[in-house]
A and B are shown apart, each in its own frame.
Chain A
């Protein structure tokens, strides 16, 4: 029984059902972003690009795109450097217990509900007298992306052969030279991959942003506003664009980390 290797009907059906649950929303959004009628029901009668035109006619769109891109870049750079250093530090540790504890601690912000992180940052910034702004949101983005970056960097660095670092030191390189000549070129693809992941997470981040950005816009904040107002097919258009960008970043991220193995 256990060795039965050919997937049975149940197994295939189950897999299909789960994938349907995961991907039905994605398909629906993309499908209806091209659907002619504003009523979201089947059958679709005609195809149109009007919703995309509508979406980009929105005067807030330009600001939202700009802010989202700023946050994505800030998250990528911030998480890339902080996360790479942290992951590198723990991978090098010899004591497995300590390593596990530090990794676990670094993942805490991923387990605390975003709502709580969002409001705690709002309280913190207001106590410092820093008004809600894009800057405040950016600090929040780095915080919520960091655990995921550390997790992926850690997985990729686990296969890093530290004897090349020792070899460099042995051949006369100072710690700094060894990092510049050997370590950095070798882990650069992983850092870039993790940076892309952070960018994707940042583009998607809504909750922490919403509590800290004040009256500013990002794409998810804009989408949220439209959603609250009711059913508007141009949401599907914005969402599709956002989704494709994020998926591209994630695929890029996993390809980057995998190169040169």
Chain B
């Protein structure tokens, strides 16, 4: 069965002289939850709108369930979209909003009522059928928008930052709920977001976009552990980026001189030459702090910040070249540390990724 697959082949989009998408290739398998993640203006919404049919690509093709639908108008496409602000029809109540696509298909009244009932139950809004859109909270509006889109039984559901207008707590609830609904229906969801946590929590796979290009596609775990670029590593989660120079290369294991020419080890993202300018990325939770005379190896540093985060303590330390490196420690690990302490920063070699060149 190929129903529900999405293939975007060589899609380009220009608006006048500005290039919104350059050469995007991208596939989604049936039943997959894929997030398009990127900062605003990276082209993620444009890509979604091209799949939905609201924009047509300047070149390239879009296939859904194996059929080329590039030239189809939005109302013929087997996709449905949930908009950022819901876009509920303000003059129709919840029932009529959800029933809209079914009425267009001339379903019988009883069949429509049953489907709407089912959808309302799915989004846990039983009993809301006669409410008007203005009588709903932000979360409820998005649930109705979801129910309205799902009622049309799309092969692919597109979601354009549907949770971004909600407050933090509600958003987290809705993330899990959306994920649950997607799993239950086994439907294909393409979800656009700028919120990396959201993408990590919900997705089977994440596509990171930057300046009109997809820069990495992978599972949340792959992307977090092995970001493919400096950009991806800094966009997903927090990371320390240390500029330096390679001093030894043995396969993927490289030694980089950072700080005041202090050698540390990491894994190369791509083959590197000795003596090349490089950037080493290491996540704060991978950084350990060694104190006392006995400590050897790692990078010498001076503690400059101690920030209490509740479940952990974030320590800032300045290394030889003035770069500030963050380390997240558990409460007991941080005991006794004072600002001004001379320490050494260490990490497991496979926790650090090394790229050629400087940060962007």
So, do A and B actually touch in the complex, CB under 8 Å? yes
Interface positions, chain B 136-168, Cβ under 8 Å from A, are 145, 148-149, 152
Does A57 lie at the interface of the complex (its beta carbon under 8 Å from any beta carbon of B)?
no
Chain B: CB-nearest residue to A186: B91
Task: Kindly identify which residue among A163, A185, A260 contacts B87, using a CB–CB cutoff of 8 Å.
Answer: A163
Number of residues from B at the complex interface, CB < 8 A: 26
Residues of chain B contacted by A143 (CB below 8 angstroms)? none
Chain A: CB-nearest residue to B98: A171
Task: Kindly identify which residue among B73, B80, B84 contacts A171, using a CB–CB cutoff of 8 Å.
Answer: B80
A4 to B91, CA, bound (A): 44
Does A207 lie at the interface of the complex (its beta carbon under 8 Å from any beta carbon of B)?
no
Q: Is the interface of A mostly helix, strand, loop or mixed?
A: helix
Residues of chain B contacted by A170 (CB below 8 angstroms)? 52-54, 74-75, 77, 79-81, 149
Interface pair B105/A172, CB less than 8 Å apart: yes
Interface pair A163/B85, CB less than 8 Å apart: yes
Given contacts A161-B85, A163-B83, A163-B85, contact A169 B73 (CB under 8 A): yes
Interface pair B90/A172, CB less than 8 Å apart: no
Residues of chain A contacted by B85 (CB below 8 angstroms)? 161, 163
Chain A: CB-nearest residue to B80: A170
Kindly supply a per-residue 1/0 record for chain B positions 73-108, scoring 1 wherever the CB is within 8 Å of any chain A CB and 0 otherwise.
111010111011101111100000000110011000
A167 to B81, CA, bound (A): 7
Interface pair A177/B89, CB less than 8 Å apart: no
Interface pair B79/A173, CB less than 8 Å apart: no
Does A168 lie at the interface of the complex (its beta carbon under 8 Å from any beta carbon of B)?
yes
* Chain A nearest CB, measured from B16 CB (Å): 8
Chain B: CB-nearest residue to A178: B75
A171 to B144, CA, bound (A): 14
A185 to B77, CA, bound (A): 25
A146 to B323, CA, bound (A): 65
Q: Which residues of B contact A (CB under 8 A)?
A: 52-54, 73-75, 77, 79-81, 83-85, 87-91, 100-101, 104-105, 145, 148-149, 152
Q: Which residues of A contact B (CB under 8 A)?
A: 161, 163-164, 166-174, 177-178, 181-182, 185-186, 260
